[in-house]
Amino acid sequence: MKRLLLLRTSYTFKYAIPFKFGRFLMSINNNFNRRLHNDVLKLNERKTDLVNNLPTKEQLLAIDWLTESLAPKFFKESLRPFFQFCLNDVIFEDKINNYNINGKGNLSIHVAKVRSYFRYMSPFNRCEHKGSIIYDNDDHFTFLYKIHSLESSWKTYMPQFLVQFRPKEKIFEGAMEIYMNKDGRIFKIINRIVTEDDRIYAEKLDKLKKQQASIDELEERKRIEKEIKNIYGN
């Protein structure tokens, strides 16, 4: 804005800036404004495309519910219900162990290796879902997990009354970010360290879920009572 005012001010002085040079400066300014306008339009188009590519809140909640149900079964059952939502070129970034995996097939093999490793290291392994974090107008949600395992020792495999040995428990925690497109398909997964903020926000969402569950249960009970009254009368 200041630049335009300076250019206009120069025309009030007869010998301040030659007329042709002033026209030249004005043409530069017009071209700059035109390019700036086009850049803003392109930026708005990119923002619109980004918003249009976001998953719905219902899609995020559906996969969140799926991970919540599958986490306790991680060492026992197939993860096929989860993998069917992954794109073939899904990307997995492990920021805890510093490696990347590309492709659904390779990710499936990696999961099998992780299971085999834990089973080899300990006769007891258990995975827990420790809450999730979901925001409106976002392309991902985060769920927290905790793996309980036992320290590896030959005594672990022996009856406790024979060896008088109590194995120490080992805990592995992490946060898994699940990125989804507008079709509800998973295109990227990031495994990272859990932060204190993660725990705080996951606890808040857990309370909201319980409140919503109570409201839904109450509404369902009222609906059933109303149907009973309609059938049998007051």
pLDDT digits (tens, 9 = 90+) for 145-160: 999 998 765 555 555 5
Over residues 1-17, mean pLDDT:
35
Number of domains present in the structure of the chain? 2
- 77 burial (CB, 10 Å; 0-12 / 13-18 / 19+) is exposed
Answer yes or no: do 128 and 34 share one domain.
Answer: no
Residue 22 lies in a domain: yes
Q: What is the pTM of this model?
A: 0.67
Residue 207 lies in a domain: no
Answer yes or no: do 181 and 67 share one domain.
Answer: yes
* pLDDT confidence bin for 165, thresholds 50/70/90: low
Residue 23 lies in a domain: yes
Answer yes or no: do 42 and 143 share one domain.
Answer: no
Average pLDDT over all residues of the chain:
77
Residue 213 lies in a domain: no
CA distances from 123 to 75, 148, 183 (A): 11, 11, 40
Helix (H, G, I), strand (E, B) or coil at 191: strand
Answer yes or no: do 133 and 114 share one domain.
Answer: yes
- Please give the residue range of the domain that contains residue 11: 2-52
Answer yes or no: do 64 and 169 share one domain.
Answer: yes
Angle formed by the axes of helices 2-10 and 19-52, to 10°?
160
Question: 40-54, 88-102, 105-119 — which is least confidently predicted?
Answer: 40-54
* pLDDT confidence bin for 225, thresholds 50/70/90: low
- Rounded Cα–Cα distance for residues 29 and 3 (Å): 9
SS3 content of the chain, % helix, strand, coil (to 5): 55, 25, 25
Cα Rg of the chain, angstroms: 30
In sequence order, what E strands does 79-197 have? 86-94, 99-102, 125-134, 140-150, 169-180, 186-192
